[in-house]
Amino acid sequence: MHKYDENGQIARHKARLIAQGFTQIKGLDYTDTFTPIAKYDTVRALLSMVAKFDLELDQMDVKTTFLNGQLDEEIYMCQPPGFEDPEHPDWVWKLLKAIYGLKQAGRQWNKTLDDFL
């Protein structure tokens, strides 16, 4: 993926490391996948209360959200193509934190946020 400047030239390359979560086995690699979401009616009620009582409402969007959740399970990942260690091409990586693509990434981030709050 590329990010372009105002002249249409490539300014930088963008990429994310994503796990192949479809290979995970429930009970072995993960237990919970629950991630709470806001219902449309709840958002409407919140917005109407903000408008009625003349309150201020802030929004937050975190791009690296799932990368902050601590894993409860031991998860190992193969080295991605093009990034293999030439001295140890058959080694695997042990993940310490959740990454995009893991089935439990959303749940782990929510747990981390909940513990902090």
CB neighbour class for 109 (10 Å; exposed up to 12, middle 13-18, buried from 19):
buried
User: Which among 71, 63, 62 has a CA at the least distance from the CA of 94?
Assistant: 71
Q: What is the mean pLDDT of the chain?
A: 86
pTM listed for this prediction: 0.63
Tokens at 64, concatenated: 């690296």
For residue 69, what pLDDT is reported? 85
Q: Alpha-carbon torsion 18, 20, 26, 30, what sign?
A: negative
Is residue 93 classed as helix, strand or coil in its secondary structure? strand
pLDDT at 26 over 80: yes
Tokens at 103, concatenated: 């089935």
Q: Alpha-carbon torsion 36, 23, 64, 44, what sign?
A: negative
Segment 40-96, tens digit of pLDDT: 999 999 999 999 999 999 987 777 777 878 888 888 988 988 888 999 999 999 998
- Top pLDDT among 9 and 36 is at 9
Helix ranges, 5-92 (H): 40-52
Phi, psi of 96 (to 5 degrees): -95, -30
pLDDT at 117 over 80: yes
For residue 116, what pLDDT is reported? 86
